[in-house]
Every structure is written in structure tokens, then in C-alpha cells.
């Protein structure tokens, strides 16, 4: 049996912080927690000075990707709660030593043609209340630990009705399953709670009224915030937030770093979404006493299995939780809400799922990402060899295929038009001298005025209004400083001296002696995964 003693370590036991203790592990369980030196160390001695030991983290909202369980464990996440996977995806899961434990909903319950058909279809759906019991029974037979129900009516997608939601919740509870509900709106959050859902898989996007906050706090067992979904949009300097993170960015493998670079320049709706409302909802529900749980919804764009949970913790703190409260939402509270009685705390008799980090994340939550090592059921995780491994390659290939399927589906439904491809008409707008001011791009919400290099100048409107915005602001925007991001390089502040469809003459805002005052001609296509972005946006 493997015996380990963590000596003189700061401990977050999942509920409270202890300044210095010894933690003794025997086999796959925690043996006891003692004062330093109270009993002789046995087996491997792991020094704890300047470090914090905490329960292995629990990500309460993921979607399974090949290799993601190994990645999660390497980054300190020892349990993941999968919120939608088909049986063939689960069959190929990389279970075993050195991997995070998996708990899954299997296929989520949605209406025929409903969300997320574009990503995962075909799969079993629920046409009405009469289908509910058999659907839940089938998920249990496939090994489901909880049930996911989806109420998503955006873009005109079919959605479950109230009677069907109630029947699904009743069938799940009869079999001892927790029900996690996907919703986007405050009204739908209240509806699923009234139908019997236990957990919101996301915080709503629109502001909850005070009476809605009170009702949700009374009816639900928890809410998974998934604030890290906003990491899908680039920072002002260009990279996605995870890649730019001073602690976590350096932990990315080269292949995942390349993926985040590509995602930073992918097609996106005009302008990033406003995270104010969702963040306010998380804080309001927390203050009302509802447990706020940490979950990422990886591998959505900008998110990396395991690593993004540390970004989620930081976002929860930015929302108004203390570092300790955020960490509880990824440990003991997560385990309690989802019925994981053997983990989430460091206490005698519980699984030795442990995370050792430098620093003190109960004071500075970003220290959670300064991972020294992870143990799953008492076995130390070997994080070496992850980069370039067959598991990593399979995961990235799977993700590429999934992305291709989703993009094709969105385009077929007219939800997405890519300004970088010949996906539909777009008007080029030039000034009286023929200089390119930008383009007016069609979207499902209307016409969007964009700069020469794709940055939106305003929200959607009719085509005449969009063109007027370009003529009013296009030249002024071109005269402002821009960020030049060459493929793989650091952003540079530049001024645009002459702009054409395929090339631009520019010079640095702060030129060196060697820089040509007349500027440098740059082929736009040669920028690769980089590009030009307005510096003030």
C-alpha cells in the first residue's frame, strides 16, 4: 500500500483553512490529519512549507473529449461532471490510473431537433411526457450519474415543454439522480426549478429579478456559474484570456496553445457579449444562500480541460466571492450537491484525491494554478508526456471534427456568416479617393459595419445605417493606433499609412532608428494567425 505524509503543509480541507498540519495518506484514502510531528511520517514524505494542500478540484460542467481526463488530472482537477456525451464518446473515455474520475449524464434530454443537435446529433430525444421514463431508464442503464435537461429556445430551436420537464425530473428523482438544467434566460431558470430541477448548469444571461433570486435559492440545490465561457473572446491585446494568463498560459502544451491562437481569430458575432448580467446573477444567488459551484463548460472555444477551472475560480472571485468560497464551490460544495460523499474534503476515510500548490489560494485564488502535483486515489499523477501524446492528438482531432460539424450546421441555418469566406454578399465601402473604409457584413440580426480587418464598429442595423456608420467612423478608426499581431509574435502599436484590400503600409507608433519613416508594406494574408486590431477596442 502507498503511504504518503505531507509535512507542515497549509491545508484547505474543503471547508476551512488550517495553517500547518501533517496529512497522512494510506493507500487510496486519507488516514488522518495531525499537528506537525504528532506522529512519525510514513512512506513518501512530501514537504509542505510554503504550499497548500487541498482536495482535488471538481469541474461541475464539462463535455468529454478524448484525453481530457488525463489533462484534467495533470492540472489538479480529479473529478469531472460530464453534462452531455453520446455512448460512443463515453466508450472511448480514457479511464484508469492518473486520470480524473468521470461522472456523466450521458445524452441530455432535449426536444427533437433541439439544442445541441448541431453538435451531437443524432441521439435519442424526448418528444413528450410519455417518453420521459423510458429516456431516463436508458440513461441509467448506460451508467448515468445525473440527468441533464435542456431548455433552449434561441434561434427558433424546438424546446421541451413544461409537462415534459416535470416528467423528466420526476423520473430522474425516482432513480436517485440529480437533475442539472441547461437554460439561458431568467424565466427559464425559474420554470425548470418549478419543474423539479436541482441545479442550474449555467447562470442565466439576463438579470434575475429579486423575487426570482429568492425563488431559485429556495428551490434549487446549486448553480454552476460557467463564467469562464467569456474566455472565448480575445483580450484587447489579441490573445484569448487563458493564453494571456500569467500563471496558466505557460502551462499550455504547444498544440493547445496553437488551438487557442486559431480560436482567437475565428468567426465571432460582432463584439463580445456583456458578462455583467450573468456575473451579477451569480453574486445575487450566492448572497441568497444558494451554493455556487465551479464549472467551465470546456472544451468550448477558449477553454482547456482542467486548466480552465482555475480561470473559473478567478472569475468567481471577481464576481464577489471570497477565494475560500470559490474553492469550496470546486470541492466540498460540489461533492455535496452532486452526491459525491467520498470526496471533496480532506478528512479521514475519504478518497485521497489531493492537489498540492505553491502559495495560498485561500488568499490569492490564482495560486490554485501553481500546481506542484496531483494525486488521484493516493496515486501521484504523472503529468510528463502529455504534450504531443496520442491522447492529446485524438482529443484535438475530435474537437476539430466537432467544430466543423457545428459551423456547418450554423451556416445551414443562417445563424452564422463568416466575413473571411465567400459565405454571402457583403458591401465594400470606399471613400471618394477609393480608399477602403471597411465592409458591411450580413448577420442574422442585421448588417454590421466592420473595419477593413473585421472589427465591428457598431451593432447590427439595416444596410443603409451600417454604411453611414462606416462613412462617419471608418476613416477615423483607420487613423487611430492599431495593434499589429504577427503570427506567433507580440502585439505592436502601429499607424496605418495606406490601406488596400490585400496589403497595408504601416509604421510603429514609437519607431526605432532603423524603422523606415515611409513605413513598411505588409501583406495581410502573410499575417497568418495574427492580424490587425483597433488598439482602443
With a cut of 50, say whether residue 1 has pLDDT above it. Answer: yes
Query: pLDDT grade, residue 160 (50/70/90)?
Result: very high
Q: CA 75, 78, 83, 86: dihedral to nearest 10 degrees?
A: 90
**Contact, 221 vs 192, CB < 8 A?**
no
Residue range 60-77: mean pLDDT, rounded: 95
Residues 181 and 256 in one domain: yes
User: CA separation (Å) from 478 to 413, 474, 508?
Assistant: 34, 6, 14
Specify the residue for cell string 478540484: 57
Domain ends where: 428, 456, 474?
474
Task: Output the pLDDT for position 263.
Answer: 83
Q: Note the pLDDT tens digit of each residue in 393-409.
A: 988 888 888 877 776 66
Residue 41 structural domain: 3-49
Q: Which residues on neighbouring strands pair with residue 182, listed in sequence order? A: 150
**Contact, 15 vs 332, CB < 8 A?**
yes
Residue range 148-160: mean pLDDT, rounded: 83
Residue range 238-251: mean pLDDT, rounded: 92
- DSSP of 428-464: EEE-TT--EEEEEEEETTEEEEE-TTS-BSS--B-HH
The three state secondary structure string of 278-329 is HHHHHHHHHHCCCCEECCCCECCCCCCCCHHHHHHHHHHHHHCCCHHHHHHC
Helices (H), 75-174: 87-91, 117-120, 132-141, 162-174
Look at residues 58, 47, 49, 72 and name the one whose alpha carbon lies nearest to residue 14: 58
E strand or H helix at 479: helix 463-479
**Contact, 34 vs 47, CB < 8 A?**
no
Residues 333 and 462 in one domain: no
Residues 251 and 235 in one domain: yes
Residues 462 and 326 in one domain: no
Total tally of structural domains belonging to the chain:
4
Do the bridges between strand 51-55 and strand 3-12 make them parallel or antiparallel, or are there none, so unpaired?
parallel
Residue range 259-276: mean pLDDT, rounded: 74
Residues 80 and 187 in one domain: yes
Task: Output the pLDDT for position 421.
Answer: 44
482 vs 272, more confident: 482
Domain ends where: 354, 376, 408?
408
Task: Output the pLDDT for position 412.
Answer: 58
With a cut of 60, say whether residue 359 has pLDDT above it. Answer: yes
Query: pLDDT grade, residue 418 (50/70/90)?
Result: very low
Residues 327 and 461 in one domain: no
With a cut of 90, say whether residue 151 has pLDDT above it. Answer: yes
The pTM for the full model equals: 0.79
Specify if 366 maps to a domain.
no
Specify if 514 maps to a domain.
yes
Mean of pLDDT over the chain = 87
Radius of gyration for the alpha carbons in the chain, expressed in angstroms and rounded: 25
Amino acid at each position: 500500500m502507498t503511504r504518503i505524509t505531507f509535512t507542515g503543509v497549509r491545508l484547505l480541507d474543503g471547508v476551512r483553512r488550517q495553517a500547518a498540519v501533517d496529512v497522512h495518506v494510506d493507500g487510496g484514502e486519507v488516514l488522518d490529519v495531525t499537528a506537525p510531528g504528532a506522529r512519525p511520517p510514513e512512506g513518501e514524505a512530501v514537504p509542505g512549507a510554503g504550499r497548500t494542500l487541498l482536495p482535488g478540484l471538481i469541474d461541475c460542467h464539462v463535455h468529454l473529449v478524448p484525453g481530457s481526463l488525463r489533462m484534467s488530472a495533470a492540472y489538479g482537477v480529479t473529478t469531472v461532471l460530464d453534462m452531455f456525451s453520446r455512448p460512443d464518446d463515453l466508450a472511448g473515455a480514457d479511464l484508469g490510473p492518473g486520470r480524473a474520475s468521470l461522472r456523466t449524464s450521458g445524452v441530455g434530454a432535449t426536444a427533437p431537433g433541439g439544442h445541441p443537435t448541431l453538435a451531437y446529433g443524432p441521439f435519442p430525444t424526448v418528444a413528450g411526457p410519455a417518453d420521459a421514463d423510458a429516456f431516463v431508464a436508458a440513461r441509467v442503464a448506460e451508467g448515468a450519474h445525473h440527468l441533464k435537461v435542456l431548455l433552449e429556445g434561441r434561434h427558433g430551436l424546438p424546446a421541451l415543454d413544461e409537462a415534459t420537464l416535470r416528467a423528466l425530473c420526476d423520473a430522474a428523482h425516482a432513480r436517485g439522480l440529480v437533475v442539472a438544467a441547461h437554460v439561458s434566460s431568467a424565466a427559464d431558470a425559474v420554470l425548470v426549478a418549478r419543474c423539479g430541477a436541482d441545479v442550474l448548469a449555467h447562470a442565466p444571461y439576463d438579470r434575475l429579478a429579486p423575487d426570482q433570486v429568492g425563488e431559485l435559492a429556495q428551490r434549487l440545490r446549486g448553480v454552476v456559474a460557467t463564467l469562464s465561457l467569456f474566455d472565448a473572446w480575445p483580450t484587447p491585446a489579441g490573445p484569448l484570456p487563458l493564453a494571456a494568463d500569467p500563471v496558466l498560459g505557460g502551462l499550455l502544451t504547444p498544440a493547445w496553445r496553437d488551438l487557442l491562437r486559431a480560436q482567437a481569430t475565428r468567426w465571432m458575432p460582432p463584439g463580445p457579449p456583456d458578462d455583467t448580467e450573468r456575473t451579477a446573477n451569480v453574486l445575487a444567488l450566492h448572497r441568497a444562500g444558494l451554493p455556487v459551484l465551479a464549472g467551465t463548460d470546456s472544451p468550448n472555444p477558449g477553454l482547456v480541460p482542467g486548466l480552465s477551472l482555475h480561470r473559473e475560480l478567478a472569475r468567481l472571485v471577481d464576481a464577489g466571492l471570497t477565494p475560500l468560497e470559490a474553492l469550496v464551490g470546486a470541492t466540498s460544495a460540489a461533492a455535496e450537491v452532486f452526491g459525491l460523499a467520498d470526496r471533496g474534503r480532506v478528512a479521514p476515510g475519504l478518497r485521497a484525491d489531493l492537489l498540492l500548490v505553491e502559495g495560498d489560494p485561500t488568499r490569492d485564488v490564482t495560486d490554485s494554478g501553481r500546481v506542484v502535483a496531483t494525486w488521484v486515489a493516493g496515486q501521484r499523477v504523472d503529468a510528463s508526456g502529455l504534450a504531443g501524446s496520442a491522447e492529446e492528438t485524438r482529443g484535438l482531432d475530435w474537437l476539430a471534427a466537432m467544430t466543423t460539424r457545428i459551423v456547418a450546421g450554423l451556416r445551414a441555418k443562417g445563424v452564422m456568416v463568416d466575413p473571411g469566406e465567400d459565405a454571402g454578399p457583403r458591401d465594400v465601402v470606399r471613400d471618394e479617393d477609393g480608399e477602403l473604409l471597411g465592409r458591411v457584413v450580413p448577420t442574422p440580426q442585421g448588417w454590421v459595419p466592420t473595419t477593413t480587418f473585421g472589427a465591428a464598429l457598431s451593432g447590427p442595423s439595416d444596410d443603409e445605417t451600417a454604411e453611414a456608420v462606416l462613412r462617419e467612423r471608418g476613416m477615423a478608426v483607420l487613423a487611430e493606433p492599431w495593434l499589429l499581431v504577427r503570427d506567433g509574435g507580440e502585439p505592436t502599436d502601429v499607424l496605418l499609412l495606406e490601406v488596400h484590400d490585400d496589403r497595408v503600409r504601416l509604421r510603429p507608433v514609437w519607431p526605432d532608428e532603423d524603422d523606415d519613416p515611409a513605413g513598411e508594406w505588409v501583406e495581410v494574408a502573410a499575417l497568418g494567425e495574427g492580424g490587425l486590431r483597433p488598439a482602443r477596442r
